[in-house]
A and B are shown apart, each in its own frame.
Chain A
């Protein structure tokens, strides 16, 4: 009987329930989706194919840190898109977002946690790509390990912040497979993951500056600290946009009865 009875000792005053919900949502994202073969495949196979194509036409035959980060970035981008779609469609299908909608913190901590989880999972692309590149081409003598690691991690989170906006579309509209077609290619080209930004056509170059990944890649290719700051700032801006988008979803659910289910 005791468990059902009033038990105030079990109830703590919520200190920032949002932060712990977010971390827990991140952890559960990994628990539920980390073994998704689709995501693992896109984080490893895709970038290696790209790296191979780029590398075979290059004169320098060793894997450099910018090639390793850039091609891992392609994998991260692809796996984050796949995981955002899989995970949010899962929430719609299981109708689990209503519990979050009715809770004090609402949808934001849960959805942000899921997105952060996809970023963490996409990190598999980083060592994965490097190992395969090293096996194929050998590692360049001047390989910058620090930039490879820091750039890779920053790339994962900046990519998740940008792709987070896709989350809005997945939750807002009935999902059709066409919704994400071409997205990987588009963001990949805009953020200059494989070719340097200077190689992009003029108008696209400017557009690319809006994406944090472009700045991460510029830094990995030898850019200054300003690029890292730009990347971090833009990641924060995109995360802010994602928060606004999720708030908008909450409002639509409460005001217009937007169904959070498939």
Chain B
């Protein structure tokens, strides 16, 4: 078995939904995905792109209309039990947990569904509660938990049976910045353990910080797939670079507007942010035109958010 087969693989994944009027809508249309062991892939895409539908198929909650899925080497349709055992998932959100049971009781119920029991289950649950920072609330009813706490408990639940593949639908949706950061830190710690992780998100920073690769979905198809850095670099040809320049005397010279390929500028005291078509050429021109007058010059490609908005607008 090759290592990709042990991770997560989807080939030609399609899912149609029948409308009430008998019409058929394609929510997912020919998606190919591979998440190798030890890799984290984020799926981005506008609302209705088909991310959740894809996740529901990958986790065995929804049958594909066509295409195949293997999880941990097992076919999700024909070997569902084994594939399910290799798969941990969280659909996140405020629901999906028993509000009247404690965090510990929730985990031991879900653990039993995966064949865990007895002392080992209790120990595993206790340790995961510690890891997601809920040990002190283990005996409290989940109904009293904040959204961030529930989201962390979801993650612990998905990890109970130590799955080879972990699939998370919007793990940080609805979290405040601090909770989102702690969720990111948790997920970051899960990478590099040989697990294949796939997550969907609307948070560009989360995607950029965590992912080995980013998949951008639109209209049920994969529009593009690459590392965050490559996506940004590739988009620089269309969107231009951002050049930040700081001037020693605290004054931005007027001649700067003659910088070749300039698309726009924004001044703030002695610093200026330029958007230019060719970053390297502009930097060269600035250094030659204002010798010794700059304290720092930096070039950055467009942000992931700009890339995302551009690609969505283009289609």
A contact set with B: CB distance below 8 Å: 1-15, 17, 20-21, 24-25, 28, 31-32, 93-96, 98-105, 109-110, 253-257, 261
Contacts and interface: CB of A to CB of B under 8 A. Distances in A.
Given A15-B115, A24-B109, A99-B157, A1 B120 contact: no
Interface string B275-296: 0000000000000000000000
B127 interface: yes
Contact of B193 (A6, A103, A105): A6
A102 B60 contact: yes
Contacts of B190: 4
B112 A101 contact: no
B63 A254 contact: yes
Please report whether the interface of chain A is mostly helix, strand, loop or mixed according to DSSP: helix
Interface string B83-123: 01101010101011111110001001110111111001101
Contacts of A98: 61, 91, 96
A11 B162 contact: yes
A8 B162 contact: yes
B115 A96 contact: no
A20 B121 CA distance: 12
A123 B108 CA distance: 26
Contact of A20 (B18, B112, B157): B112
A5 B193 contact: yes
A260 B99 CA distance: 17
Given A14-B85, A15-B115, A253-B62, 15 more contacts: A2-B127, A3-B128, A4-B189, A6-B194, A17-B115, A20-B115, A24-B112, A28-B101, A32-B100, A98-B61, A104-B85, A104-B114, A105-B81, A110-B113, A253-B61
Given A1-B189, A32-B98, A95-B95, A7 B124 contact: yes
B100 A31 contact: yes
Contact of B84 (A5, A6, A12, A103): A103
A257 B18 CA distance: 10
A104 B112 contact: no
B96 A103 contact: no
Contacts of A11: 116, 161-162
30 contacts: A1-B189, A3-B127, A3-B131, A4-B128, A4-B189, A6-B195, A10-B123, A12-B115, A13-B115, A14-B85, A14-B115, A20-B117, A24-B112, A28-B105, A28-B109, A31-B100, A31-B105, A32-B101, A94-B99, A102-B60, A102-B89, A103-B110, A103-B114, A104-B85, A104-B113, A104-B115, A109-B113, A254-B60, A257-B17, A261-B95
A203 B82 CA distance: 50
Interface in B6-25: 17-18
Contacts of A4: 128, 131, 159, 186, 189-190, 193
Contacts of A96: 95-98
B136 to A, nearest CB: 15
B203 interface: no
Contacts of B193: 4-6
A38 B96 CA distance: 25
A9 B120 contact: yes
A17 B114 contact: yes
B200 interface: no
A101 B80 CA distance: 11
B162 A3 contact: no
Across the A-B interface, the 9 shortest Cβ-Cβ residue pairs: A14-B115, A3-B127, A103-B113, A3-B131, A95-B95, A17-B115, A10-B124, A104-B81, A32-B100
B96 A12 contact: no
A187 B259 CA distance: 87
B230 interface: no
Given A25-B109, A28-B105, A99-B157, A10 B95 contact: no
A261 B101 CA distance: 19
A14 to B, nearest CB: 2
B151 to A, nearest CB: 14
Contacts of B113: 17, 21, 99-100, 103-105, 109-110
A107 to B, nearest CB: 10
B130 interface: yes
B100 A12 contact: no
A24 B115 CA distance: 12
A254 B128 CA distance: 30
Nearest to B102: A31
